[in-house]
Amino acid sequence: MVVGLLNANPIVYKKKERRARNVPTVIDEYAVEPIDEQEIFDYIRDIKDPEHPYSLEELKVVTEDSIEANDKQSYVRVTFTPTIEHCSMATLIGLCLRVKLMRSLPSRYKVDIRVAPGRHATEAEVNKQLNDKERVAAALENPNLLELVDSCLESTYA
Amino acid sequence: MELLDGELELREIQKLEGHTDRVWSLAWNPAATGVAGMLASCSGDKTVRIWQKGPSGSWNCSSVLEDTHTRTVRSCAWSPSGKLLATASFDGTTAVWEHVGGEFECVATLEGHENEVKSVSWNASGSLLATCARDKTVWIWEAQPGNEFECVSVLQGHTQDVKMVQWHPFLDILVSVGYDNSVKVWTEDGDDDWHCVLTLGEANSGHTSTVWALSFNSAGDRMVTCSDDLTLKIWDTSQNPSETSGDGNGSWSHLCTLSGYHDRTIFSVHWSREGLIASGAADDAIRLFTESKDSLVDQPSYKMLVKKEKAHDMDVNSVQWNMKEPRLLASASDDGTIKIWELSVVSK
């Protein structure tokens, strides 16, 4: 384990107000409500940073604008921005995003997790690893890593 | 092949349920036919299931192989005799099971890889077993009398995670593919020493992302590979790479690339005895390809015959043609199910 923090003084941003979801007046209360960017954002905004007591939203690792969702095509893409370019936590943050969405979305969904272009020194490697489902599956069978992921996700299940 | 003149469809015969996690891989028993047809499947639920075709024609789970692997079972392969089943696991071991009197007994455990074993394959004679792992190595094991397996070679050369190993259908030529985007070909030099005689990478018109799987045609003169770069590639494998390497001529070469057909990662590819290539991908679809009859002699081309959308509810991880009944296809998925398909002509 690295002694000291990788990014000792991250910039902390204000949390956005949780908006009531902007859904048209319900006519048919049994109608299926499509999953949109705002809903995806609500799933992941409170994930805790692995080394700081702040959420990914507060560190601007994720924003609503960094999410692309298409309910019809059952597709979601989350582009996240590590706080610093050499952040070795990038893979772990990406893994947390993937696990959270895996647990929250219907299984028909295809999820791509990516580092914002130009925002990480080993962007291509991080992206490749996060989108290799075999390596993700193997990682999640590692009890120590799973515990780490679960501790970052704990705050999102409140 | 008269079938190919009509419009084809993949008809679902049966959905096999029982695994409690994603199903990674499938293997048809080469010896069992007809009523005794037999299929092995392995899963993230740490078990292997054996499915047998009953007298009524429906498939049922006849055995569950459990309590041996402690993590995901990623790959399974029958010995050519059909008596032994090898299973590779994320727990770092490969188990060998013997089928005796309807029961499966674990008769050997092959240890040595540092971490997740990703694939296992028997050579044509059943004398050699190859395994590969995330530790970047490929191991060759020799079968000894009494179900003993001795490691005869540890092959280094891949720079990343090795995803699959597969032997040539009748020669002792081993092919491995992986996360380093490369295809490597290994042969023995006559002194029990195994070497990489060929690497097919981007410079040889190879893949630009993880290579997940490969399959030879039945004649062994062509090979297909599939990748995260969304393409299938066909290779000419008619030359013996150990005899021709060095002079730059006559080695295995790229024949063509099938691009524009797949939307997400292609995890599995299998070449049938009748010349049909099946692919299974992360877009939940199964596709079938065949060589175009009108393709030029020196420039073969392949066309898509069938696209089965929503073949499964989630990613398709494995597609395997039955060796004895060449129009029977099995597929496995992240949705936890296995499906048996029959290729047939659409009735007008």
Helix and strand counts by DSSP (H, E) for chain B: 1, 28
CA B276 to chain centre: 15
pLDDT band, very low/low/confident/very high, at A11 (cuts 50, 70, 90): confident
Residues 6+ apart with CB under 8 A from B22: A137, B43, B44, B314, B315, B317, B333, B334, B335, B336
CB-closest option in A107, A135, A137 to B44:
A137
The answer to whether the CB atoms of B44 and A128 lie below 8 A apart is: no
Residues B234, B238: Cα–Cα separation, whole Å: 12
Residue spans of the domains in chain A: they are 37-153
pLDDT band, very low/low/confident/very high, at B34 (cuts 50, 70, 90): low
Percent of chain B with pLDDT over 90: 84
Which residues in chain A have their CB less than 8 angstroms from residue B332's CB?
A: none
Residue with tokens 């999640």: A140
Residues 54-113 of B with CB under 8 A from A: 71-72, 74, 90
CA A93 to chain centre: 7
Quote the tokens at residue B340.
Answer: 């048996």
Residue among B10, B45, B53 nearest B324 (CA): B53
Give the pLDDT confidence score for residue A157 in this predicted structure. 86
Residue with tokens 């050997």: B108
Residue with tokens 């059943």: B126
Residues B227, B222: Cα–Cα separation, whole Å: 17
CB-closest option in B90, B264, B283 to A141:
B90
User: Residue B316 to residues B22, B90, B223: CA-CA distances in angstroms?
Assistant: 10, 20, 21
What CATH number belongs to B11-345? 2.130.10.10
Percent of chain B with pLDDT over 70: 93
Each residue's pLDDT tens digit, B64-116 = 999 999 999 999 999 999 999 999 999 999 999 999 888 999 999 999 999 99
The angle at the Cα of B159, spanning B157 to B165, to the nearest 5 degrees, equals 65
> Which CATH architecture group holds A37-153?
2-Layer Sandwich (3.30)
Look up the ipTM and state it: 0.93
- Radius of gyration for the alpha carbons in chain A, expressed in angstroms and rounded: 16
Q: Give the burial string for A82-105 (b: 16+ CB within 10 Å, else e).
A: bbeeebebbbbbbbbbbbbbeebb
φ/ψ of residue A33, rounded to 5? -95, 120
Q: Are B189 and B225 in contact (CB under 8 A)?
A: no
Q: What is the DSSP letter of B243?
A: H
Residue spans of the domains in chain B: they are 11-345
Mean pLDDT of chain B: 93
The answer to whether the CB atoms of B163 and A137 lie below 8 A apart is: no
φ/ψ of residue A38, rounded to 5? -65, -40
Which residues in chain A have their CB less than 8 angstroms from residue B266's CB?
A: none
Give the pLDDT confidence score for residue B1 in this predicted structure. 47
Each residue's pLDDT tens digit, A37-94 = 999 999 999 999 998 999 999 999 999 999 999 999 999 999 999 988 877 799 999 9
- Is residue B245 pLDDT above 60, yes or no? no
Q: What is the pTM of this model?
A: 0.93
Residue among A125, A99, A98, A129 nearest B134 (CA): A129
A65 half-sphere exposure, CB direction, 13 A CA radius: 4
CB-closest option in B116, B209, B334 to A138:
B116
Residue among B284, B267, B203, B269 nearest B229 (CA): B267
* DSSP strand pairing (B128-133 vs B137-144): antiparallel
Helix and strand counts by DSSP (H, E) for chain A: 5, 3
Which residues in chain A have their CB less than 8 angstroms from residue B74's CB?
A: 134
Q: Are B176 and B184 in contact (CB under 8 A)?
A: yes
Each residue's pLDDT tens digit, B167-178 = 999 999 999 999
Residues 162-201 of B with CB under 8 A from A: 163, 179
The answer to whether the CB atoms of A134 and B22 lie below 8 A apart is: no
- Is residue A2 pLDDT above 50, yes or no? no
DSSP letter for each residue of B24-77: EEEEE-SS--GGG-EEEEEETTS-EEEEEE-TTS-EEEEEEE-SS-SS-EEEEE
